[in-house]
Structure 1
Amino acid sequence: MDCKQVNYSSGRYFRGDKKDAASHLPMDPGFEAVGIIAAMGESVRNLKVGTPSAIMTFGCYAEFAVVPSKYILPVSRPDPEVVAMLTSGLTASIALEKAGQMESGKIVLVTAAAGGTGQFAVQLAKLAGNTVVATCGGKEKAMLLRELGVDRVIDYRGEDIKTVLKKEFPNGIDIIYESVGGDMLDLCLNALAVHGRLIVIGMISRYQGERGWTPSNYPGLCDKILAKSQTVAGFFLMHYAHLWKEHLDRLFDLFSTGKLKVFVDPKKFVGVRAVADAVEYLHSGKSVGKVVVCMDPNFSEQVAKL
């Protein structure tokens, strides 16, 4: 295996918090990777050694992994852009379709939009014919989002998100793709339109720090969604495994035809020992696009022979 993507939840798993079942030991971190099949069992008939493949299962922060053949997802090339499409791309694609019931002609807000999954969400929403609003922190991230076709970029370092939404979108937002949690989630609830749908795909503001992953209370939540016939939907990718291949094929098609761009953060992380540094870098807020760790510096030479 070579390329593995780093997610905000990796920091949560690494904490070893006794109160958080997700980080109880023993656990094997790293959930997705791309590489080349190095060997197979005698009973495997539908795959070949040397086939570029992706896997989505725990234990991917490693140079090699032994997995059941049913977990193998053949891909065109084991490149960083492909690994970015796994958890990040699939979450955006499936969540917007299933939890968000996304149509065209709507106003869609994506928070933390210049990150791994946000970059997919804004593009898919735009491709579906929607007006896309995106939040981010920093000029470089704002520039990327404009390049991806976002209609209104809100850089919270220079603008107040609440003020902008209230002034420019007085009727509210139809679909919100939310991954920050905390105050941002509360802000999104207040900005949701009548019949609006809020998709909660994570709480990155709560994955690390003194409080870490703790239960959250949102007073008045029931009153808010009842008053405007709104929907708040949680989304966890593992519950949609039956849709992975279908949506991954869609993402590949969009990418190969140039309709979808995949931005990988240019900072290099190589080897298993670099995983912790990559997670810290992601949580620093400095990354733009998807943070990827490559296991073997010579892997590109092997890929070139494919």
Structure 2
Amino acid sequence: MAGMMRQVVLAAYARGNPRPSDFRIEQVPIPEAGEREILLKTLWLALDPLIRFSIDEKLLSGATHMQLGEVMFGPTVSEVVASNHPDYAVGDFVEGRTGWREYAIVAPDRSDYRGPPRKLDPGLAPVSTALGALGGPGQTAHEGIVTVGRVKPGETVVISAAAGAVGSIAGQIAKVLGARAVGIAGGPDKCRALRDLGFDAAVDYKAADFADQFKAALPDGADVYLDNVGGDVTLAVLPLLNRGARMPMCGYIAYYGVGMEGPGPDHLPGFYRHIMAKGLEIKGFAGIFAGQKGLDDIAGWMKQGKIRFPEAVVEGLEAAPEAFASVFSGNAHVGKLLVRVADKA
């Protein structure tokens, strides 16, 4: 396919929170598919917070470390527009990790550790959900609530970053399981959106009376805390956890721009006291490796009308740098943050 395409590359390593100027848009020729390769046209791009781990000058954690000038990596939904591989036909929709670019070549036989691109059924749900409710965020929410959190009917579940892609699905899963769901989010609009999704309560951590709101929302304490944030939010949750509470930990966005040692004071002494005094069970996990079971459950609940999948959409590849930076600077998005790169061919 002749012509030019755009791609976003890493122009500078992030110092603290990412800035739009850390990225650069380039124009390059559209590649051609070789033997047993497929050419993908990017339709949707997911701006996952975990991408932040890959753009420190020195790798601190995570599996990916980017070099300056490399195309930004990240999950995408694409359409096959040329195929030299028997398992993929032109017109197929797939989910993979082809990055911030308009077209990409993939060799399914030589795919990364997540395997070849996943084929999608557009009749099941909008293909964009493969990056949210029916993708990694959905798997993470299911793993945190069902497998790690072991939520039972009648329990109270607290979720931080509850208006995000993982949190918004996790709260709904907790409700499906018969639990009480309390979300923590930033701003009245996000809290209103959570209540509209069925959360029993939503507390604004930016409000001056956050502590009072939070205590009022947890008259009997909390049995499970799905932590996506860390920082001051988690410090506010710890005193209200019941004895034996479970704390699935799938993120700590308060510290993504911090090195191995953050600024003082040192809160570890109090943290350890809570762990011992309450017999807390804390487990970090990566739900993206949870397998198909969670996605099948969520798909079933979606068909039954028990799970909704809010999406916040920005238009055009050129919007990706600013939208990604906004993830770390108090955005107003609810649900999965997506970039619509193109319509289907």
TM over 0.5: same fold? yes
Alignment of 1:72-151 (within 5 A): 72-77=117-122, 79-85=127-133, 86-151=135-200
CA deviation profile, 1:57-114 (whole Å, cap 9, x unmatched): 4x42222241426433222226333322222221101221221112221100011111
Q: Which residue in 2 is equivalent to 1:35?
A: 78
Q: SS at the partner of 1:233?
A: strand
**1:94 alignment partner AA:** E
**Match in the other structure for 2:284:** 234
Residues 1:104 and 1:229: Cα distance change in structure 2 (over 3 Å): same
Superposition deviation, residue 167 in structure 1: 4.5
Aligned with 1:2: secondary structure?
strand
RMSD over aligned Cα atoms: 2.4
Q: How many residues align?
A: 286
Q: 1:205 to 1:32 in 2, by over 3 A?
A: same
Percent identity, aligned pairs only?
Answer: 24
Q: CA offsets, 1:155-190, max 9 Å, x none?
A: 223354433344453542101111111122222222
Q: Distance in 2 between matches of 1:215 and 1:39?
A: 48
* Structure 2 segments unaligned to the other structure (5+ residues): 1-41, 110-114
Greater strand proportion: 2
* Cα displacement string for residues 235-273 of structure 1 (whole angstroms, at most 9, x for unaligned residues): 1235xx2x332222322232233221111114x2312x3
How far apart, in 2, do the equivalents of 1:110 and 1:13 lie?
25
Runs of 4+ in 1 over 6 A off after TM superposition: none
Query: Following superposition of structure 1 onto structure 2, how do residues 1-306 of structure 1 map, counting pairs within 5 Å?
Result: 1-14=42-55, 16-18=56-58, 20-22=60-62, 24-26=65-67, 29-42=72-85, 44-45=86-87, 47-55=88-96, 57=97, 59-62=98-101, 63-68=103-108, 70-77=115-122, 79-85=127-133, 86-158=135-207, 160-208=209-257, 212-215=258-261, 218-238=268-288, 241=289, 243-266=290-313, 268-271=314-317, 273-286=318-331, 287-296=333-342, 299-300=343-344, 302=345
* Cα pair 2:151 2:179 within 8 Å, conserved: no
Unaligned runs of 5+ in 1: none
Where 1:249 maps in the other structure, the secondary structure is helix
Deviation per CA, 1:179-219: give whole Å up to 9, x if none.
111122222222211110111111111223xxx24346622
* Residues 143/221 of structure 1: CA separation in 2 closer, same or farther (3 Å cut): closer
Whether the 8 Å contact between 2:231 and 2:254 is mirrored in structure 1 is yes
Distance 1:104 1:29, change over 3 A: farther
Larger radius of gyration: 2
Offset from partner CA, 1:99-141 (integer Å, 9 cap, x none): 1112221100011111121111111111111111111121211
In the other structure, the counterpart of 2:16 is none
Work out whether residues 32 and 83 of structure 1, in 8 Å CA contact, stay in contact via their aligned partners in 2.
yes
Tell me if the contact between 2:74 and 2:99 (Cα under 8 Å) persists in the aligned partners. yes
Question: Matches of 1:82 and 1:256 in 2, distance apart?
Answer: 15
